[in-house]
Structure 1
Amino acid sequence: MAFNFTVPTNYTYSNLRESLTQEDEETPFRKARRTNSSNSLSDTRKLRNESTCSNSASDLESLPDLTDDDDNWTPESSPIKPPSNHRFIFLESPSTKSFNLKQQPPATKLSIFHIPEIVYKIVSFVDIQNTQLPSEATVIRRKPTSYKHALLIYGDKDKAKAALESSTSIKQSSKDPMLNCLLINKLFNKITREIMSTKLYFTNEIQLLKYIESNSSITFQNPTNLNLHKLFHLKNSNFLKLISNIQFHKLQSLELFMCPKLQPPSIVLQQSSQFLQKIIITGSKIIDDEFCYQISLYCKNLKHLDLRGCELITDSGLYFIFQNNFQLTYVNIGRKNKNHLITDQSIHYLVKNNTNLDTLGLAGTYISDNVLWEISQSLPQLKRLSLNNCRNLTNSGINRIFNNNSKILPQLNVLELCYNYQIMDLTQLIKFKNFKNNLNGIGNNTFILELCEQLLSKYRDQEFQLDKITSISILDDISYYINN
Structure 2
Amino acid sequence: MKFASLSNGSFKRLRETPPVDLRPRKKSSPTPSDSESDNESNVNNKWRNSLDQVFKRRNTSNNLGRKRRWKNKGPFVRTAQNPPSPVNVTPGPTSVKNGPRWEDARIDSVIQLATISPFNEEKVTRHMADLTLVTPSSPTPPIALPPTVKPHPIFQMPEIVENILRFVSAYAEIPREKPYARRKPLSLEHAKLIYKDEKKAMEVWNNRSQIGAHNSNGDGNEMMGSVMYNCMMVNRLWFHVTLELLLEKFHFKDLTKFRRFLNVKNQMNTNKKLIKPKMMVLHKFHKLQQSELDELSRFLSCESLKWLEFYICPDVVPPVAWINQFNNLEKLVLPGNKKIDDKFLIQVSGHVNNLKVLDLRACDKVTDSGIIAMAIRCPQLQACNLGRHRNSSNITSLAVVALARNTDVETLGMAGCKITDAGLWELAQLRGSRIKRLSLNNCDLLTNHSIPTLLALNYFPNLAVLELRHVDQITEVKQLVKFKLWKRSQNIPVLIEGCERITRLMYDEENRIRKSHSLLAFEDMSTWVNTESEL
TM-score (norm 1): 0.72
Q: Secondary structure at the match of 2:334?
A: strand
Query: What's 1:227 paired with?
Result: 281
In structure 1, list runs of 5 or more residues that go unmatched.
1-94, 98-104
Q: Structure 1 residues 189, 109: closer, same or farther in 2, change over 3 A?
A: closer
Question: Is 1:360–2:412 an aligned residue pair?
Answer: yes
Q: Distance in 2 between matches of 1:154 and 1:299?
A: 43
Q: Secondary structure at the match of 2:449?
A: helix
Query: What's 2:154 paired with?
Result: 112
Query: What's 1:180 paired with?
Result: 230
Question: Is 1:126–2:176 an aligned residue pair?
Answer: no
Q: Distance in 2 between matches of 1:171 and 1:206?
A: 18
Q: Structure 1 residues 223, 472: closer, same or farther in 2, change over 3 A?
A: same
Query: What's 1:464 paired with?
Result: 511
Query: What's 2:484 paired with?
Result: 433
CA deviation vs aligned residue, 1:322-354 (integer Å, no higher than 9, x gap): 001111111111111111111111211211122
**Could you tell me whether the CA contact under 8 Å between 1:417 and 1:450 is conserved in 2?**
yes
Q: Secondary structure at the match of 1:321?
A: helix
Query: What's 2:469 paired with?
Result: 418
**Could you tell me whether the CA contact under 8 Å between 1:311 and 1:338 is conserved in 2?**
yes
Please give the residue correspondences for 1:75-90 in structure 2 after superposition, counting only pairs within 5 Å.
none
Query: What's 1:348 paired with?
Result: 401
In structure 2, list runs of 5 or more residues that go unmatched.
1-72, 76-90, 95-149
Q: Secondary structure at the match of 1:279?
A: strand
Give the Å deviation of 1:111: 1.5
Give the Å deviation of 1:205: 1.5
**Could you tell me whether the CA contact under 8 Å between 2:297 and 2:321 is conserved in 1?**
no
Give the Å deviation of 1:318: 0.7
Pick one of 422, 426, 430 that aligns with 1:370. Answer: 422
Please give the residue correspondences for 1:13-52 in structure 2 after superposition, counting only pairs within 5 Å.
none
Query: What's 1:239 paired with?
Result: 293
Q: Structure 1 residues 360, 186: closer, same or farther in 2, change over 3 A?
A: same
Give the Å deviation of 1:475: 4.2
**Could you tell me whether the CA contact under 8 Å between 1:197 and 1:219 is conserved in 2?**
no
Question: Is 1:396–2:443 an aligned residue pair?
Answer: no
Give the Å deviation of 1:206: 1.7
Pick one of 347, 361, 370 that aligns with 1:294. Answer: 347
CA deviation vs aligned residue, 1:108-145 (integer Å, no higher than 9, x gap): 896111000000111111111112x2122121211222
Please give the residue correspondences for 1:161-310 in structure 2 after superposition, counting only pairs within 5 Å.
161-164=202-205, 165=207, 167=211, 169=215, 171-173=217-219, 174-175=222-223, 176=225, 177-215=227-265, 221-273=275-327, 275-310=328-363
One-letter code of the match for 1:401? L
Give the Å deviation of 1:404: 6.3
Query: What's 2:497 paired with?
Result: 450
Q: Structure 1 residues 109, 254: closer, same or farther in 2, change over 3 A?
A: closer
Give the Å deviation of 1:476: 4.4
CA deviation vs aligned residue, 1:81-120 (integer Å, no higher than 9, x gap): xxxxxxxxxxxxxx9x9xxxxxxx9998961110000001
Question: Is 1:136–2:177 an aligned residue pair?
Answer: yes
Give the Å deviation of 1:213: 2.6
Q: Distance in 2 between matches of 1:477 and 1:324?
A: 58
Q: Distance in 1 between matches of 2:274 and 2:195?
A: 48
Query: What's 1:54 paired with?
Result: none
Q: Structure 1 residues 201, 386: closer, same or farther in 2, change over 3 A?
A: same
Tell me: higher relative CO, structure 1 or 2? Use CA pairs within 8 A at least 6 residues apart.
Answer: 1
One-letter code of the match for 2:381? L
Q: Secondary structure at the match of 2:364?
A: coil
Query: How large is the RMSD of aligned CA atoms in angstroms?
Result: 2.9
Percent of aligned positions that are identical? 34
Q: Distance in 2 between matches of 1:474 and 1:199?
A: 60
**Bigger Rg over Cα:** 1
One-letter code of the match for 1:288? D
**Could you tell me whether the CA contact under 8 Å between 1:198 and 1:220 is conserved in 2?**
no
Q: Distance in 2 between matches of 1:281 and 1:120?
A: 32
TM-score (norm 2): 0.65
Give the paired residue count: 378
Q: Secondary structure at the match of 2:456?
A: coil
Q: Secondary structure at the match of 1:260?
A: coil
One-letter code of the match for 1:364? G
